[in-house]
Structures are given as structure tokens and as C-alpha cells.
Amino acid sequence: MSALVFRSAVALAQMIRDRQLSAIELLDAHLKQIAQHNSKLNAICTLDEANARLRAKQADEALAKGENWGALHGVPVTIKDIFETAGLRTTAGYIPLRDYIPQQDATAVARLKAAGAIVLGKTNMAELAGDYQSTNSLFPRVNNPWNVEYTAGGSSGGSAAAVAAGLSPLDIGNDIAGSVRQPAHFCGVYGLKPTDRRISTTGMIPEVPGMPYCLRQMMTVGCFARSLEDLRLCFSLIAGGDPRRPDVPPVPLDYPSGKSLNDLKIAWTEQWVEVPIAPDIRTAMQQVIEKLTQSGVQVHAWLPENFDLSAIFNLYSRVAAYINRYAQPADRYNLQRSLKLIFRTATQGDKKLRALGDFSRVLPELLNPSLKGYFEALTERDRFIAQLDTALESWDVWLTPVAATPAFTHRPAWSAIEVDGRSYPHGIANGAYAMPFNLSGHPAVVIPIGQTSHGLPIGMQIVGKRWKEMELLAIAQQIDTVIGAFRSPPDY
């Protein structure tokens, strides 16, 4: 294992500034790690070595002249293949975009570059971000660095796998139903889903080029890292208003309250009653609560009043149907793929669980949408957000599982998953604990908390108040100090 490639981005940037390490040396270390491991992971789908090397050389020359590009001066990063990168192929794993080369960077990418980051390459993903596994028709599937027979999750599986395996210190992904949080949980890294519309989605696919801007709710841009310190830095660099996207409010970053861990009031939910979690996750969550309690932290079992999971899923599905109706391409290939996925999630798995999260019930609205129906769904969403805002006023953060299962073995898209002898529909197993917070827009961070009996990572979701990401990350840091930290996969 190369210790250098597992250092934090913050530490690497400081080493470059202190002249302990050159940007070229750091780039070479990551290229060596990629050459050694990416062929079995398929985490990076497009490597931009020539341009990265040129930029690293320029970074060293700039530093020699006393110039500092920013907080990530000379640090290589990777970018999920869903974000446009000027002059570098961006495909979203979608065949019609196999040769698409954008003319302009996505806003989040441009902001990382402005802070001195060097784009090393693009990370592999689920086709058009439409699966909880990272498979598509352009590149080989992404494998989990803890066990290549298992998925790295989706849709940002390449992002999480690259960060976990030391191929990159930072990556950005997107999350509309857990696409940052579930892969972070599966791969044992840290992942942040911020408040809805906290970070601009300009230059993110879908929408595919030429399509209207439809994903105006629930879709967020998030970060992957191996430490909360790096998440904090990445988030602070890319958050904020964007002239290219006027509906992103210019809300300033909050300041952490500075509360000590013992002054915090923490809520936790072991599992949704309707969607039990795998035994290993339950054990890991209980151990977290025990450690926190032993450290003098106030932790209370809690669930908001009138937290009707079936109603939440139904409302999420309605909003998702409307915002995806025109954002997704309507070509024959994509329509066939989408209908296949809807059919599988509606017919595979336990009948009771299928009824809970059956996306086929919104097919009428998906096929025949109305403006009135869209506004009705948004009005219901507003009520849900207000209810959860009120419920969370009494708590500093809320701890929940990330998904019903840890990483699972590779399988056809949207196939059922076994959890403790019960067959779970794919969407319920992977999205039941994530989707409510896309619907509500609340920020959530995932931290690693342990491993299964088979040596696979387990993460925990920490939910905070809207527009309070810095407070959320500060509290997560204190919790992380008590319960553990990132562990690299063996043999990397």
C-alpha cells in the first residue's frame, strides 16, 4: 500500500504548499495506484493523464513563483462521469453520449479547478444514474474494492470505489435517491448529500444536452472523501449561488455552534418498522449507540410523529415521475430500459414490500402528466418538509441506517435482494432509508461505522437541519472520533 495516496486532500495540499511534495510526484503516485488497481475495479472510465500531467507541471511552476491557486493547489481529483468537463469526454454511461466532449465545465467542476484541483479522470457510474449498481453499456461494471464479486453501489459506484482504493482523494457525485450515500456505505468512505439546491447542478447529466432543465427538486450534488475534513473542504468550495442557475439561492455557509459532544441531543432510529435492516447493520448501529452513550452523549430512540413511509414513498415517486418525465431522453433504447427496471421492481421481492415502494403506481402520471398534478405533488412535498423541519427542531442530528443491506453480489439491474431470508425489491433495499431525505431536502452525511461478518463496510447516515451542513459535519466529526475512522481495503 502506498501511504501517500491514502493521505487526506487537506494534508496533501499542505505538503505541496510546504514543498514537501511536488504536484508531479503526487500525480505519479496516483497514476501508479490506478495502473495497479483500476483494471480490476473499473472505477475510472476515462483517464486524462496527459492534461493532468501538464496541469501538475504548471502547478509546480506557479508555486515556485509564489503563486497559490487555492486550497487544492496541485491535488488530483476525479469527477463522476455525469458532470461535464471541458475538453474531456462525458458520457453518463449512455451510448448516445459515447463521444460527447463538452465545451464548458459543470459549475461544481469549475469551482474545484478554481481552487487548484487537477482533474485526473472521470469515474464510472450507472447508466444515466438510473441504478443502485454501477453498470452501463459503455464500460465494464464497477467492482467493490473490498470484494470484487460485490457491487460498489450506484449510481456513483466508481466515485466511492476510486476514493476507497486510493485512486483519488476526492470525487463529486449526485444524489436523488441515495446515489452518494449508498455507495459510500458500500465502500466504507464518507459521503455528503447537502441540502436540496445548496450546490448548483449546472452541467450535470441528466438533463442530457438539448433537454430542458427539469430536475429542479430532490437532485443534489455531493462529495466523497476518506475524511470529514475533506468533505468539509470539498463542500465549502463548490456550494453557493450560481449565475448559470438562478434558482440556486446564494445562502451563505452556516457556522458550527461549537457544542461539545456531551451537550448534543441526538435522535436515532434503528430501522423503519416496515423495512427491517440486515442483522450486521443492526449490530453495528447498536454498537455506535453504546459507544456514544458510554461517552456521555444523550442519544434517544426516536421517530417523527406521522412518519408514514408508504405515503412518503408514494409522494417521492410522484415528484420523481414528474421531474424525470422530460429530463430523461425519450429514445426507444432508454424507454425499453426504464420500463424493464419498473417491471422488475414491481414484480420481484416480497409482495408487502413491493406494495410499499411500487413505482408502477405512478405510471399513469408518468405517461400522462398534468401541470395540476405536478403542483399538487409539490404542495404535498412542501407540507412534508415543514413537518420534518418542525420535528427536527428538538434534535441536533438524527442517526439512521443508510440502506437495508450492505454491499451485495452483482446481479441484473433492479433485481431483488435477500435480507435475512426475505426477498426485498431492489428500490426498497437500497433506497428506503435514503429517499425520504431527498424528498425533504435535508442534508445527510454517511460515515463508516464497522464491517459485516464477511468483511464488507457498514455506514451510518447522520441527518441534519436544512442549510446547516457545516454544523452537521462538525457533529459528525465528533461522532466519528468516538466510533472510529476510515479503513482502507486490504491489499491497496
Q: Which residues are catalytic?
A: 80, 155, 179
Between the two ends of the chain, the Cα-to-Cα distance in Å is 5
Beta strands per DSSP E along 89-239 = 118-123, 143-144, 147-151, 171-175, 190-193, 220-225
- Least Cα distance to 27 among 61, 70, 1, 57 occurs for 57
CB 293 within 8 A of CB 299: yes
Spatial distance between the Cα atoms of 165 and 158, rounded to a whole number of angstroms: 10
- Cell numbers standing for residue 312: 412518503
